[in-house]
Structure 1
Amino acid sequence: MANVTHYFQSSTKDFTFGPWKLKATKDHIMKSADIEQLAEEMHVPGLPEMLFGDNVLRIQHTEGFGIEFNAKDALRRVRNCQQELVKVACAEEWQESRADCEHSKEIVKPYDWTYTTDYKGTLLGDPQLKVNPTTERINTEKLKTREQIIFFEEVLLFEDELHDHGVSSLSVKIRVMPSCFFLLLRFFLRVDGVLIKMNDTRLYHEANTDYLLREYSSRGSKISDLKHVPPPLYTDPNEIAQYLPLKQTMYEKLEFPNGMDGVPLSPSPQST
């Protein structure tokens, strides 16, 4: 990890398309002391070893409203996830490794050491986008067409190897075309010999519309139910996804605040 940190160079990319401004910031992994301090502030016994606390992907309209994706807000959702805690040997190791933390004694609720989060982004601005259930779906067929990609970026928010018992990670990537943009936020969890889980949030906006579509899905399976799947696929989220049963879905329309209309994306794309 030290070598990765040594050669890593911080970067910020801005991209303007129509009334939208996109910002992708990539910074160094937070230092251990800073992670411990943040864990204390959040009243949790520990946080991912590779936490990119300053990384962010932000999409903001000229009127101020928008949405961003960052690790800290995602981790604040961990304690709210209603799920059975994974009980394996590494869970005990995790607890022991944080037993000396004074603030961990103040934790009343069990904490999910796998960092499973149902985070779907942080709304920006005042007023904010209005979130409502919808029957409308993202046009996946349109996304398959060969439209020019005028901007692409991927940002890692956190990752933890769970004491060499698997992986827990959260990343977000976006691609912008002249007529739309599409974003995927993915939480991926693999506990070796136990389970695989994936929470995806897809965000889509098409030119000349006054809303964004957001689709959330949660998939998961015990490893014992994946014996028909070649083990090498367990480590590839894109490949294993088709074998994971769908557990939960949520479809939402994020509408512009009153009086604000959609504007074409294509007039003057600029990047810096």
Structure 2
Amino acid sequence: MAGEKETEKPTTVEEREEKEALKASGAELLGDGRHGLRINDWEIESNNRSILNSLEYQQWEEKLQTSHLPEMVFGKSSLVLLHVKSGIKIHFNTFDALAGWKKEGLPPVQVPAAAQWKFRSKLFQQVILDYDYTFTTPYRGSETVETNTEHQIGGIAEDGGCNLQWEDSTEQIDVVALSSKEPILFYDEVVLYEDELADNGVSLLTVKVRVMPSCWFLLMRFWLRVDGVLMRLRDTRMYCSFKKNADPTVLRESCWREATFQSLSSKGFPSDSAAYSDPNLISQRLPIVMQSTQKLKILR
């Protein structure tokens, strides 16, 4: 026994502080190799998995009825927020996001004649750009009510019936609470899919979550840059403040921003694509196309 103690990895100051913060907040980490935590009736779990293999890729093409998918599809990655007491489950998964892309069917972004890209969905097969090759999705998450807490995360399986709906709201996300110096009990970023547009830009869908003692907050972002042509941001923010003995109040803010390189250049901004590698730095330069705030309502 003494030998075992000598070989134990010493606990760092940071690890001790994390454990103390979890304990003080009444939170606990998920066990059994799961990545996340339980806090105030919420069970929050993230999964970062590898990209689909060739067989899975083909199966997804068949299910989505398409021959075009992003270069990197993280099909089993997900973020799930389950309110155990009410059964409310908010989750983010790649299949639903791509189903939204397929259903919306935006026209392809027009590129200059001088930029004849060579897109390929399969090796040695050139594809005509007659579809939305940017994979822009209107997806803002999925929600359902579970009849029990035995839930499975990831994959393509569909959930049961849903008696939830989003209603327009005048409430706003509490940015003051988010900027407070509360300890961050849990943080993760999940990539759902990515495509480099044949080295002519980027199409990226991610979701980030942050959990504090008083609330959880997440940002789902679709980021598109077609070099020399267009930039597009579709952001979805969700916020839930922890309240005892009450159904959770979840707010969702959605914002769609978009601008052409030409319009930005006319305002004196750089026209070089290299100046727009970080969407956080240029989001305010992109004008708002659409914006809304909603609250999740439980239909009894």
Q: TM-score range by the shorter chain?
A: 0.7 to 0.9
- Contact in 1 for aligned 2:68/2:121 (Cα 8 Å): no
State yes or no: 1:243 paired with 2:285.
Answer: yes
Partner in structure 2 of residue 219 of structure 1: 257
SS of 1:54's partner is: coil
Deviations 1:182-210 (A, max 9, x none): 00000000001110000000000012163
Q: 1:202 and 1:134 mapped to 2: Cα distance?
A: 14
State yes or no: 1:76 paired with 2:99.
Answer: yes
Choose which of 179, 186, 204 in structure 1 pairs with 2:239.
Answer: 204
State yes or no: 1:115 paired with 2:135.
Answer: yes
Distance 1:100 1:170, change over 3 A: same
Q: 2:116 and 2:43 mapped to 1: Cα distance?
A: 42
Structure 1: unaligned runs, 5 residues or longer = 1-10, 105-109, 259-272
Shift of 1:81: 2.6
Distance 1:224 1:40, change over 3 A: same
Identity value in percent: 37
Deviations 1:44-76 (A, max 9, x none): 121111110000000011132121001110000
Higher RCO structure (Cα 8 Å, ≥6 apart) = 1
- Contact in 2 for aligned 1:50/1:159 (Cα 8 Å): yes
Partner in structure 1 of residue 50 of structure 2: 28
Choose which of 118, 128, 145 in structure 2 pairs with 1:93.
Answer: 118
Partner in structure 2 of residue 182 of structure 1: 217
- Range moving further from structure 2, 137-146 or 76-85: 76-85
Deviations 1:104-140 (A, max 9, x none): 9xxxxx5311100010001122554332111111112
Deviations 1:155-193 (A, max 9, x none): 010000011111100000010111111000000000011
Shift of 1:40: 2.1
- Range moving further from structure 2, 88-97 or 172-181: 88-97
Q: Give the root-mean-square deviation of aligned CA atoms.
A: 2.4
SS of 2:284's partner is: helix
TM-score relative to the length of structure 1: 0.81
Choose which of 168, 184, 188 in structure 2 pairs with 1:133.
Answer: 168
Structure 2: unaligned runs, 5 residues or longer = 1-32, 146-160
Q: 1:233 and 1:77 mapped to 2: Cα distance?
A: 30
Q: 1:155 and 1:46 mapped to 2: Cα distance?
A: 22
Deviations 1:225-267 (A, max 9, x none): 1223344431101011011000001211013454xxxxxxxxx
TM-score relative to the length of structure 2: 0.74
- Contact in 1 for aligned 2:107/2:131 (Cα 8 Å): no
SS of 2:66's partner is: coil
- Contact in 2 for aligned 1:153/1:175 (Cα 8 Å): yes
Partner in structure 1 of residue 10 of structure 2: none
Partner in structure 2 of residue 252 of structure 1: 294
Q: 1:39 and 1:150 mapped to 2: Cα distance?
A: 38
- Contact in 2 for aligned 1:213/1:254 (Cα 8 Å): yes
Partner in structure 1 of residue 269 of structure 2: 229
- Contact in 1 for aligned 2:106/2:131 (Cα 8 Å): no
- Opposite residue 162 of structure 1, the aligned amino acid is L
Q: 2:59 and 2:290 mapped to 1: Cα distance?
A: 34
Q: 1:23 and 1:256 mapped to 2: Cα distance?
A: 22
Partner in structure 1 of residue 200 of structure 2: 165
SS of 1:27's partner is: coil
Q: 1:156 and 1:96 mapped to 2: Cα distance?
A: 21
- Contact in 2 for aligned 1:22/1:59 (Cα 8 Å): yes
Distance 1:56 1:96, change over 3 A: closer
Matched pairs, number: 242
